[in-house]
Amino acid sequence: MKSKILAPILFGICIATLRGATLAQTTAVQTRPDDNAPVIALLKAGTEPVPAPDSVSAPAGWMAVSVAGPFDGYVVNSDLTKQLDVRPGAPIRLEPKPDAGIITVGEKGDKTHLTGLHGNWTQIRVDKTLIAYIRTGAAAASPSPSPLPPPRDLSAPISTIGAAPGASAAAPQPAPSGETSPAGLARSFEGRFASTRHPFSPRRPYDWELLDGSGRRYAYLNIGKLLLTDQIENYSNHEVAVFGALKPVPGGKDLVIEVESLRLR
């Protein structure tokens, strides 16, 4: 009988201790109290977790926490309304693929906006607080090897035009004449997304182009593979990262990137 009375008391003491404790090591924040659940953020050593409301319980060895957004994820284009809101109940995933981990689901009133186009998927940023879980027992080891980037960090650094992988980001620089992606392979490019349509100017072979840091065209952009192109004007004159194969324009000396995905930098 005494043990039944003492158990909840000891549990309450443990929770109270955790609420005021800082993390001794970088800890993965997961969508469920499960070591295989998707990781939506990393809490650095020395961080004091924000406990979830008392109404949220967690199994032994876990702690429920509140994690403030924004969070970046992907939704299938069909899960967007005509007003480009995420449909309630639609899964928001870590990556633009159907088997990727789910960060959260859309809810009425969510504050979201589009940040990129990826074929059948749209990259979005959702600004809301999520309830998630961290390990507090002996298994609170190292974080998952492929976590979702922390809020406001859209992805790992990508290569810039003419730069080796891992090089610091810089504006695109003109490539040697005739340089294209090897065997038509797609790669990442960064620069300013701009329109080629100007009053009293001749029509260009493509309506969009990627400009380098000095405002010169690096390559035209063929966006024919993207969906939701009615929203493409939202990217005009913004710094972007595009992914696609770089090819010569047929019958000319210019280059064109066959864009497969587009996102704001």
Tens digits of residue pLDDT in 90-99: 999 999 889 9
Report the C-alpha gap between 35 and 20 in whole angstroms: 24
C-alpha atoms less than 13 angstroms from C-alpha of 123 in its C-beta half-sphere? 19
Report the C-alpha gap between 172 and 191 in whole angstroms: 6
pTM for the whole thing? 0.57
Show me where the domains of the chain are located. Answer: 2-68+130-135, 71-127, 182-264
- Spans in the chain with pLDDT lower than 50: 2, 5-18, 20, 140-179, 183
Fold of 182-264: OB fold (Dihydrolipoamide Acetyltransferase, E2P) (2.40.50)
Pair of tokens at residue 178: 């005739």
The residues, any chain, with a CB within 8 Å of residue 148's CB and separated by 6 or more, are 38, 39, 40, 41, 71, 72, 73, 94, 103
Report the C-alpha gap between 103 and 130 in whole angstroms: 9
Report the C-alpha gap between 225 and 247 in whole angstroms: 15
Pair of tokens at residue 193: 């997304």
Fold of 2-68+130-135: SH3 type barrels. (2.30.30)
Tens-place pLDDT, residues 165-222 = 333 334 444 443 344 555 457 788 889 999 998 888 888 899 999 998 888 888 899 9
